[in-house]
Amino acid sequence: MEREFRFEVSQAVLDLGLQGAYLRISGLRNREGDPDFEDLRESVLRVALGSLSDGSILADKQLVGFRALHDSVKRSNRKNVASPENLLRLLLERKTMPRINLLVDIYNLVSIETRLALGAHDVAFIEGNVSLRMTTGSEAFWPLGINENKGVSAGEYAYIDDANEVLCRLEVRQVEKTKVRIETTDCFYIIQGSAATAKEEVKHAVQRLVELTQRFCGGEAEVLYTTAP
Q: Domain residues for 36?
A: 7-226
Does 1 fall in a domain?
no
The CATH number assigned to the domain holding 12 equals 3.50.40.10
Laid out side by side, the sheet with 157-161 consists of: 7-9, 130-134, 157-161, 166-169, 173-174
Does 2 fall in a domain?
no
Does 215 fall in a domain?
yes
Does 152 fall in a domain?
yes
Q: How many CB atoms lie within 10 A of CB 133?
A: 17
Q: Using alpha carbons only, how large is the chain's radius of gyration in Å?
A: 17
Round to whole Å and give the CA distance between 76 and 207. Answer: 32
Q: Note the pLDDT of residue 3.
A: 85
Q: Note the pLDDT of residue 1.
A: 57
Q: Note the pLDDT of residue 160.
A: 98
Does 186 fall in a domain?
yes
Binned average pLDDT, 10 residues per bin, the chain of 229 residues? 89 98 98 97 97 98 98 97 98 96 98 98 98 98 93 97 98 97 98 98 98 98 97
pTM: predicted TM-score of the whole model, two decimal places: 0.97
Count how many domains the chain has: 1
Does 171 fall in a domain?
yes
Alpha helices, DSSP H, located in the chain: 11-14, 35-50, 54-59, 61-72, 83-94, 102-114, 199-217
Spatial CA neighbour of 184 closest among 126, 140, 132: 126
What three-state secondary structure class fits 133? Answer: strand
Does 70 fall in a domain?
yes
